[in-house]
Structure 1
Amino acid sequence: MDFRLSEDQRALSRGVRDLLEGRFDREALRAAVDAPALDRELWRELGEAGFFALRLPEDDGGVGLGLPEAVLVFEEAGRALLPGPLVATHLAAGSVPGAAEGTVVVTEADEGLVPWLDEADVVIGDADGAVPMRSVDPLTPLHRVPGERRHGEGGRLAGGDGRLVAALLLAAEQVGSAGWATEAAVGYAREREQFGQPIGAFQAVKHLCAGMLVRTELARAAVRAASVTADPVEIAGAKLLADTAAVGNARDCLQVLGGMGFTWEADVHLHLKRAWVRAELRLPAARAEEAVAAGL
């Protein structure tokens, strides 16, 4: 079986990256950090571009693509740190009017957390009594559902497999973030000089960057394979690997950047904070590990 991307799939990834670089560049990212609010105009543009309707049949006004293409699109969203309840709105397309077009924002109560509750037009699941909490990620406002309902199944989106698809799409975002951290670390290691040579020439830095690349590619392969098989155990494994890659790569990127990496001006802390939040949504580590162990 040939798992290489087709030319259409590569073009899809390039197109989404170009769209996000033009519409949500670093200046827009920093503006969103300074004034956290969902950009409704951008949300509609994503809808017009088919982001939310990607997997809807063409007869229903969608793009007619599948889960393998969706993970490519969400990987680019993760790389750009695109804010908002992307997964919930994507999964609600076709069942919640306006979600596919980006005119309605949908969020969901998940693992006792409700992202972007104040900005959402529709909430899936039991969010009654949810209270605001301080989010580690400035680009993901959160509410917490009372403790006794934290681990309920909540609403199901896009059929019975909606929760698994959501976990896989979050994993794809984590892969995009891990890839960004790798590129940032390697780029800095090539330019920053110590003792008369780029720091990338030192073995310790080489090892960090090599480890980041391995984590990214392993997680990317797992996510893409799971998008083809849609196997629950493979999705759980992919989420585990992707969470590990996103968090671990952000930390190693901080190490490579040194003192600069720990400043507010460096973007790597935003990737680390988003990775922490994603890791707690949809199959967090403890449950994903149990799912993989049961499958074995």
Structure 2
Amino acid sequence: MRFRPTAEQRALRAGMRELLARRPDGTAVPAGPGPDRALWRELGGAGFFALRLPEADGGVGLGLPEAALLFEEAGRALLPGPLIPTHLAAGTVPGAATGDTVVTAVDGALVEWLEGADVVLGDAEGAVPLRSVDPATPLHRVPGAAGRGSAAPVASVLSAAEQFGTASVLSAAEQLGTAARVCELAVRHARTREQFGQPVGAFQAVKHLCADMLVRAETARAAVYAAAVTADPADIAAARLLADEAAVRGARDCLQVHGGMGFTWECEVHLHLKRAWVRARRGGGGAQSEELLAAELLA
């Protein structure tokens, strides 16, 4: 089976990267409680949310592999907002496909972008704000919701199995985007930053960090692309775990390469790490994927 993107898929990804390159600086924290509405509608007009809807229903008529490529670009660009719930709700919640309606969902006991959403899938009654580690991802906690499961709130949109699979692939794709981006940033900094009269990339310890980041990112890429094509639960679970690791460890290693400047607001590295931490908590924080893989191995 071939997982290499086609010419059409590469063009789709390039178009998404070009669109996101026109947005404001990715290090900027959203000024209000919700995502940028103009950008949200622009994404809707570009078919981001309606990508997997049939053309007869006003969608683009593509599949999960293409959606994974676009969400990878969203992760790479630190695109804020409840992208996955809105994408999943396209065709079910009016206005979601076009970007006129912002949709979020209760994920276990957490809700992203609760105050900035027009529609909330699931019972968010009694939700209390949390101090999010990622300043660009506001979070609320729903007391007593942890036992309901992350798939229940969106049962009206997809079945529990479809929700776990699709949402996990798209979340893994976002993590892949972060893993690839921080690898690029680390290599760029290692080539230009000098210490003791030579680029820091000449030192063996920095070389090893960059090499490990690349290996993790490319391993995650193969797993995410394969999961998007096969939609097999075991493939999806493996992709989720590998992508979470590649994003979190890659961002931490990128910070190590940058040193103290990586924590400054002028540098996007620390924001990638914080966003990766938040994504890694979605859907049970990878525990569901670990349990699924363990069951597969025992079987």
Normalising by structure 2, we get a TM-score of 0.94
Counterpart residue number, 1:73: 70
2:4 partner letter: R
Picking from 132, 140, 144, the partner of 2:141 is 144
1:39 partner letter: D
Q: Could you tell me which runs of 5 or more consecutive residues in structure 2 were left unpaired when the two chains were aligned.
A: none
Q: Give the C-alpha shift of residue 34 in structure 1.
A: 5.7
2:154 partner letter: R
Q: Give the C-alpha shift of residue 168 in structure 1.
A: 1.0
**Paired residue secondary structure (2:140):** strand
**Conserved? CA contact 2:110–2:140, under 8 Å:** yes
CA distance in 1, matches of 2:49, 2:197: 50
Picking from 49, 63, 66, the partner of 2:60 is 63
Counterpart residue number, 1:241: 242
Q: Give the C-alpha shift of residue 35 in structure 1.
A: 5.4
CA distance in 1, matches of 2:275, 2:237: 19
Comparing 184-193 and 283-292, the one that deviates more: 283-292
Counterpart residue number, 1:6: 6
CA distance in 1, matches of 2:189, 2:263: 14
Matches within 5 A, 1:1-296: 1-22=1-22, 24-26=23-25, 29-33=26-30, 37-146=34-143, 148-153=144-149, 154-156=152-154, 158-160=157-159, 161-296=162-297
Could you list the per-position Cα deviations for residues 144-163 of structure 1 after superposition, in whole angstroms to 9, with x for gaps in the alignment? 010x2213133225421022
CA distance in 2, matches of 1:33, 1:295: 42
Comparing 71-80 and 260-269, the one that deviates more: 260-269
CA distance in 2, matches of 1:172, 1:185: 20
**Conserved? CA contact 2:27–2:267, under 8 Å:** no
CA distance in 1, matches of 2:187, 2:28: 26
**Conserved? CA contact 1:219–1:238, under 8 Å:** yes
Q: Give the C-alpha shift of residue 264 in structure 1.
A: 3.0
**Paired residue secondary structure (2:104):** strand
Q: Give the C-alpha shift of residue 197 in structure 1.
A: 1.4
**Paired residue secondary structure (1:12):** helix
CA distance in 2, matches of 1:41, 1:261: 30
Could you list the per-position Cα deviations for residues 63-120 of structure 1 after superposition, in whole angstroms to 9, with x for gaps in the alignment? 0000000000000000001000000000000111100000001000002101111111
1:150 partner letter: A
CA distance in 1, matches of 2:28, 2:154: 33
Q: Could you tell me which runs of 5 or more consecutive residues in structure 1 were left unpaired when the two chains were aligned.
A: none
**Paired residue secondary structure (1:108):** strand
CA distance in 2, matches of 1:166, 1:80: 19
RMSD over equivalenced CA pairs, Å: 1.3
Aligned length: 292
**Paired residue secondary structure (1:128):** coil
